[in-house]
Amino acid sequence: MKLTVRRGGGIAGIVARTELDANVLPPPDAAVFTAEINRARMRELPDPPATSGRPDAQLYEISLEETGLLFSRHYTDDSLPEDVRTLLAWVDGRPERIESIEQ
């Protein structure tokens, strides 16, 4: 299972990419990762409109890859569900994550 988060927009328009693969996590942490993804309901929630009335809004594209399936969701700061926000905070706190800036 792999989660990829692309964050962009705002005033600078920079797109940051964060990836975390369950295969690089110790087994107890991989179980927590799976639990956080399940709690965020990434597979079930509908994809809300990724538009905002604010020109400086942060945009999120969150993709979950597992067993050959890909689930992608698009959010803004305003539409990001609290459970997904918690998942992103957990991923951001992992030293195993890979971060990059997209050109």
| Whole-number pLDDT of residue 11 | 72
| Whole-number pLDDT of residue 49 | 63
* H/E element, 87: helix 82-92
CA distances from 100 to 14, 19, 38, 72 (A): 11, 9, 26, 19
| Whole-number pLDDT of residue 45 | 75
Quote the Cα angle for 65-86-35, to 5°. Answer: 55
pTM: 0.89
pLDDT tens-place string over residues 52-73: 566 678 899 999 999 999 999 9
CA–CA separation, 75 and 51 (whole Å): 8
Task: Spell out, as residue ranges, where the chain has pLDDT lower than 70.
Answer: 47-55
Residue 38's SS3 state is: helix
Quote the Cα angle for 61-2-20, to 5°. Answer: 85
